[in-house]
Structure formats: C-alpha cells, structure tokens
Structure 1
Amino acid sequence: MPSRRGLIFPAFAWSGFSSAFASIIVGSQLQASLGTLDALFAAILGNWILFIYSAAISFAAGRWGLSSQLVLEAVFGRWGAVIPGALLGALVTGWFAFHVTVTATILAAALHLQVDSTLAICVIGILFAMPAIVRISRGFNMTAIAIPAMALFAAVVFAHQLVPRWSVLLDGPIGGSLPFGTGVCIAFGTFVVSGTMTGDIVRFCRTGNEAVQATAFGFLLANLPFLIVGVLVAASGARVNDLFTAGNALSWLLLALVVVSNWTTCDACLTNAGVTFKSAFPTLPWMGVAGVATLLGIILAVTNSVGDVSSWTLLLTAIASPIGGVIIADYYVVRVRVGFSRTRVARVNLAALLATGAGMLAALLCYRLAPAVIAPLISAPAAGCLYLALSGMALHRLGADLGGQSAGAEAIE
C-alpha cells in the first residue's frame, strides 16, 4: 500500500498510452467502411463498451494492487495463467509491431526514401525497443510524453484540415459495406488487450474507484477523441498519410509528433509484454524477456501480420474479451465476498481455461455467421457464464476451488 501513487499517475499513464496514433488510423478505416455517421456511432459505442469491460477488471486489480499476470494467476492458477498471459503478451507485442510498421511507412513516404522495408522496420524496431530492453525507460511513465504530442497533433489537424471543410464533413456516404456491429468490434478491439491487462497500470491506484476513474481518463477522454479525429479526417477527403507528405512546416511538425507518440506507445507495449512474460517465467532475465518480445514484434512487422488493422482488432477482440469475461465472473461471483484474499488451490483452473476457449469460439462464430452482432457482448458473457456453470458442477475436479488467505491480503483489507 505505501507504494500506491493515487489517481494522477495511472490516469496520465492510461491517457498517454491510449492517445495513440493507431486510434486515428482505426477511425479513418471505420469511416471508409461504415460511412461518417455510422463510424462516429461505432467509435462511441465501442469505446463505452470497452470502458465498462475494462473498468470491471480495473476495479478488481486496483482494489487489490495486482498486476495483470497476478490477476490471471488468481483466476487461472499459477500454471494455468501462463496460457492467457502468453496470449495477451504476444498480442500486445503485435501492437508494438503495428506502430513500428506505421512509423517506417510514414517516414519513407515523407522523406521520399527508397529503402528496403525490412531494413527500415528492423532499425526502427530496435531503436524503439532499446530503452525498454536496457531499462532506461520506465514503461508507462514514458506515455505521459504522448499526451501533449498528440494533443498538439489533434489541434493542428483540426485547425488546418477539418475547420476549412467543416460544412461538408457529414456530406459523405451515410452507410458502408461493413456491418455496424463489426465496426463496433473494431473500435472495441483497439485497446481490448491493454484493457484486459489494465492491472499493470491501475495497481498503483489506492482504491478500486480510483482505478475506474483512471480507466475513464484513458478510454473516454483520450482514446475516443482520437478515434473521432480519425473519422473526421477521412470524412474531409484526406488519407492519414497525406498529413505528412505536403512538404510544408506543418507536415514536418505532424511527422515529428507522430514519431514521438509511436515511440512512447511502442515502449509501453514492449514493457507491458515484458512484465507479463517476466511474471509468467520469473527465472528468466529481463533483458532476455524484452529481447524475445522485441524479436517477436519485428517478425510480426516484417511479415505484415498486423498490417490489416480491421482484421487485427477483430482478432484481438475474439481472443482477449473471453479472458476478461472469466476474470469478471470469477471476481464478482465466485469471489464476491473475499475478493483476491484467497488463493486458488489448483495450479491449473481447467474450468477457466475451457470457458475461455469456448468464448473465443463463440466470437469466431459471431464473425462468421452473424457479423452484425457485437461479438464481445456475446463472447465475454458466454465465457463468464460457462465458467460459473463448470465451477458449480465440478469445483474440485476442474481446479476452481479456493484455498486459504493469500499473503498480504490482511494488509490490503
């Protein structure tokens, strides 16, 4: 408890992390696929669902001061938590790859460089990763730099690109080829992984309520405005890359601001992944863990595995939201009176793993059979309800029973 830092640090860390350039790209993709009005509604609805989902996890993690991996261990068991932890760590490394790729593409276009994309990605990836690998940076402390950078970016884009075209921004197509529910899933998926891993940030809050407030700063006051900016930029008739290729002073300013923002986001993603991998495999050295995460990110970037941002965010939604659904069900129903004060007896909570897999399958079926459905509203509750059912039917055999009071619980209480 003496190490808790209150509301300000987690709120700034979340806001800096979620005020990412990726949100502008996602917003512009939504406008192209849905039309302006539907894209705006999808961004707003998707972010509110994301906030409610993440706030439920934030309250639990912030109340007990647990990192994301410790939350997973409390729910899935010490060994069982390795599976969802590795999945989430790999997915957040994918966002590192995405921002490295975007930075390489923008720099090549703005500077008219004829360089091999693989070389550019490797160089930028290593440069962005080195502060985290050698522990120069302090993870989410770095994201505070992104707040003024992206705020200035949004102000310049608003004044230079949007205000002159304000009267025609809503004159474009009303609808698009993409189902509205899928658009909501894309907006939700932008930060669903980090929302599931929110304990790494909100554990520094003093109370669960402060953790919820920090989450509100991150999603409703930081991420959502940049999604909307992305929608409006596309509605003005401009491509996002066009903002950096004009060759004037403003385009150079925007380029510098985005490089700074992408660097801090990459630093936070790599730190998030490294902390998760390190917690899952505590005997491994930090430099080795961060180096492996960097290598994975560079491989994902070079192979263009995260190039399609729509498909990428839908994959994140399918994988991460059932994990969160099980966490929420475990904390608010199974542990309703004891919270995380009691440990899980079994090293593997098979009920939690089976329910998570079923939730992922439910999300994939929604995408395939009912794309108009908002998948996380099906997959997360389905995973949580199945977990409760399995826990009730075979509590001991599936490893869902709780043991004695955990270390440090008396101090927290």
Structure 2
Amino acid sequence: MASAEEYEHAPVPPTARKSLLPVAAVWFGFPMNLGNAVFGGVIVYNLGLVEGLLAILAGNLVLFGYVGALSHYAGRTGENFALQAADTFGRRGRIAAAGLLATVVIGWFSFQIGLTGTTLQDTLGWAPMWGALLGCAIYTLLTVAGIRALALVGAVATPLFVVLGAVAIGYGAGHTSASDALTYQGTGGALGFGGAVAIVIAGFADSGTMTADFTRWSRSGRSAVVATAFAFPFANFVAYALGGVVVAIGGSADPAADGGGFLPLLTGHGPLLTALAVLFVFVNLGSVASHCLYNGAVGWAALTPAKMRPLALGLGVLGLLFALSGVWGHFVDWLNLLGVFVPPIGAVLITDQYLRRKGRAADARDYRWSALGAWAAGALVAGLAHYFLPGSVDPLFGIVVAAVVYAVAERRRPPRATAEPAIDATTASTV
C-alpha cells in the first residue's frame, strides 16, 4: 500500500480511479467517531432530544449540499483541493486557502491524539502522555499507508462504532424509560437551535471543504456525490444522534462537559468488553486522525515539491507536540474559528465552478482578487454574526455572503481578450 501513487501534484487519472465502495468507505468511517457523539450529547443536553435531533439533521443537510457540490467537481476533474484552489484563488493566492486548511486539520489530528490519551486514562488508568504517544504512532502510520488504508479503517470503524454504541445504550437504558428519553427536554439552555446547527456544520467545515482530497478518486461526479451522502447526512447524523440518545437516557455522568461520550458505559462488564472498548478507541479515533493528517499532508504536498508520506511523518510529530501542550482542549473556540473562516472558502469554490461551467475559461493568474476578496467578506460577516447575533447559524452567513460577493464581482469584471483564455487553459493544465 505504501508504494501506491497519491497524485499530490496532478489530477488522479481515469485508470487510477476507484469504484463507489472504497471511496464511500473513506467518507463513511470518518464522521462516526467519539468526538461527534460528545458534540451530539452536548446539543441534546441543551435542546432536548427531539429539537436536538432536528438541529443535527439540519446541519447535516447543509453539509450534504456544501460538501456534495465540492465533491461533484472533484469527481469530474480528479483534482485535489489545492489544485482546485489554484484556479479559483490564483496560483499563489491558493496558498492562503489551501495552506490554512492544511494547517487547521492538524489541529483536529491533535485533538484526536489528546482525546486518545485522556480516554485511555479514564478507561485503564494510563498516563495521558503514553496513550497520546501510542495513538500518534498508529495514526501516522495509517496515514502513510495512503488512501487504501483510510478506506480499510473506515470499513472497520463504522460497524464497530454502531455495535458498541448500541451496547452502550443498552447498558445505559436502565437509567430511564423509553418514553422519558423521547420527551427529554434538556437542562442546559446555553445553546440555541441555530448555535447547534452551526456546531454540526463547523465540525466538518475543514475536511468537508477539502473533500476533493478523498472524492477525486471517484470515477465520476455523480459517484463522488453518492460517496459524500454516506457521510452527510447518514454517518454524521448517526454519530451525533447516538451521543444525544446517551444523554437522553441519563447515560452521561456530566453531559455539559462530556456530552454523549459513551465509552464509560462499556467498562466494568468484564475483560472482553473492556478490551473491545480499548480497541474501539484506537480504531475509531484513528480513523478520524488519519483522515485529518491525510488532508494536511496532501494539502502541503500540493503546495510544495514534497511528497505526501514524508510530510505526514513530520506533521504527525507536530500534531503530537500540539496535543501534549494541551491546546487540543480548546475545541469550542476551535469550532467557532472554523465556522467563521472556512465555509466562505468552499462557497467561493462552488460559485466559481458553477460560473466556469457556464463558460468562464480557466485562469492562470497568480492572484484572483475577486475570489480572495469574497472569502474575506464572507468571513467578516460570519464573524460579525457570531459576536453580534448570538445563536445564529454563523457559517450560513459566511457561505451566502461569499457566494454573492464573488458572483457579483465576476459578473462586473470586463471580458478578457479572446486569445487569453486559450493561454490560461494551457498554463492551468500544468498547475
């Protein structure tokens, strides 16, 4: 697996594309993770079960539209995210967008490493540092193995998550009746419906925007969209909802802090189940961590002459240092940051790709200021919404404003000389 070409600097050729199943497995196993169960529990703790599930579903439908549109173009072209960004933001301008996302996903990698250490501490009494070190080594090696390993670990992580999640709910169900769980109203009150939708969107704003790194392996745009649907709304909704049910049945000792983390419900029932719980930690968190590290390594490889695998090793060490510093614990601030700055990038990409299908030629300029300006406008408005309209769906403000500003700027741009598009298209094909 380690010798397979990852196509960091060029589109995936048709001969190397994969069928629906392996690409779907890559996306399918990504959202089904303990972190999303935690967030789902926090949402239900604040909104109640029914309203919380509706908020989770709404966020996932937005993600499907957003990530699905980006995936469709990736499946048609075979380009990774950084290659897509070159035509939209410019050959040099793409460094701002692709470099930002390739860096922030390392923050999520660090989050999973830190979560591994603390989870094993709670489960087995290990020192968090040793769990984090072991997790980092395993997750980095998975990433180095490439896209095939991501598909394999996703195929294993998904059924393991569903089965052990169901077992955990079975053990926790003794705390309440089914009718009480269904009518659970929540006792938090610190989070509104819009804020809950924003959390769901922000949770996959970065890797969702970089979906082309995964779905470029699809054989067509339609196949890429179907693969995306396995993640949004299906897998992501299941992960959030399972955590919400854990809180609704009273299975979380501290839902305000731990949300729907269900691993404690699996311990204390014999060595076999405890061993399975430990295996689950590495498989489940490893699936998420390796996907994030793959995004980061492919992104920085596309921006430099380097290859994905050496960069994965270096970024893995960097992520470990971040995790050991404790920065991974600020996940709420992290989500707010992602929800403000990242979705406008995808909105500009989608709008640009739509305009291109309507006849705009490929563009090989170093900087495309209309795209960079639209991104800045969307991020500014999303940030203002976050601070001055608490409870709003911040990412949607950024998406709409960025798309509108870019479309207006492109419509008002004077037509280019007839010979120029042909030159641009030839140059762009070498980017």
TM-score by length of structure 2 reads: 0.85
2:405 aligned residue:
386
Asked whether the 8 Å contact 1:140–1:201 carries over to 2, the reply is: no
Query: What amino acid is the match of 1:169?
Result: A
Q: Specify the SS of the correspondent of 2:182.
A: coil
Distance 1:187 1:161, change over 3 A: same
Report the equivalent of 1:67.
80
Partner SS, residue 251 of structure 2? coil
Tell me the CA shift for residue 287 of structure 1. Answer: 4.5
Aligned to 2:11: none
Quote how far apart the aligned CAs of 1:215 are: 0.9
| 1:174 shift after superposition | 4.5
CA distance in 2: counterparts of 1:388 and 1:197, whole angstroms? 22
What are the superposed Cα offsets for residues 28-51 of structure 1, whole Å, 9 maximum, x if unpaired? 121223332322111111111111
- 1:151 maps to 162
1:335 corresponds to which letter in structure 2? Answer: R
Identity of paired residues, percent?
A: 29
Which stretch of the first structure deviates more once superposed, 9-18 or 162-171? 162-171
Q: Cα–Cα, structure 1 residues 11 and 338, in superposed 2: closer, same or farther, change >3 Å?
A: farther
Per-residue CA shift, 1:177-222, capped at 9, x if unaligned?
A: 2121111000111212121111112112222121111111111221
Q: Which residue is equivalent to 1:170?
A: 182
Q: Which moved more, 1:57-66 or 1:148-157?
A: 148-157
Matched residue, 1:318: 340
Q: Which moved more, 1:143-152 or 1:180-189?
A: 143-152
Aligned 1:3-402 pairs, distance under 5 A? 3-113=16-126, 115=127, 117-118=128-129, 120-133=131-144, 138-162=149-173, 165-174=177-186, 176-239=189-252, 240=261, 241-246=263-268, 248=270, 249-281=272-304, 283-332=305-354, 334-338=355-359, 342-394=361-413
1:246 offset after TM fit, Å? 2.9
Where does the alignment leave 5 or more consecutive residues of structure 2 unmatched?
1-13, 253-260
Alpha-carbon distance change, 231 to 135 in structure 1, aligned in 2, over 3 angstroms: closer
Displacement of 1:120 after TM fit? 4.2
Question: Contact (CA 8 Å) 2:267, 2:273: kept in 1 or not?
Answer: no
Partner Cα distance (1:303, 1:402) in 2? 49
Corresponding residue SS for 2:16: coil
Give the structure 1 partner of residue 257 of structure 2. Answer: none
Give me the whole-angstrom Cα distance separating, in 2, the residues matched to 1:6 and 1:287: 24
* Structure 2: distance between partners of 1:387 and 1:123: 45
Aligned to 2:362, the other structure's residue is in SS state strand
Contact 2:153 2:283 in 1 (8 A): no
Of the structure 1 ranges 187-196 and 32-41, higher mean CA displacement relative to structure 2 is found in 32-41
**1:140/1:268 contact within 8 Å kept:** no
Normalising by the residue count of structure 1, what TM-score does the alignment of the two structures yield?
0.88
Distance 1:389 1:70, change over 3 A: same
Residues 118, 180 of structure 1: alpha-carbon distance in 2 compared, 3 angstrom cutoff: same
Q: Give the superposition deviation at 1:300.
A: 2.8
- Partner amino acid, structure 2, of 1:325: A
1:82-135 Cα deviation digits (max 9, x unpaired): 11111111121121111111111111111123x2x4454344323421343476
CA distance in 1 between counterparts of 2:224 and 2:386 reads 32
**Contact 1:142 1:268 survives alignment (8 Å):** no
Deviation at 1:75, TM superposition (A): 1.0
Asked if the contact 1:244/1:252 (under 8 Å) is kept, the reply is no
Per-residue deviation, residues 248-288 of structure 1 (Å, max 9, x unmatched): 3434423322321111221221112101110011x224444
Matched residue type, 2:296: A
Segment of structure 1 superposing worse, 34-43 or 124-133: 124-133
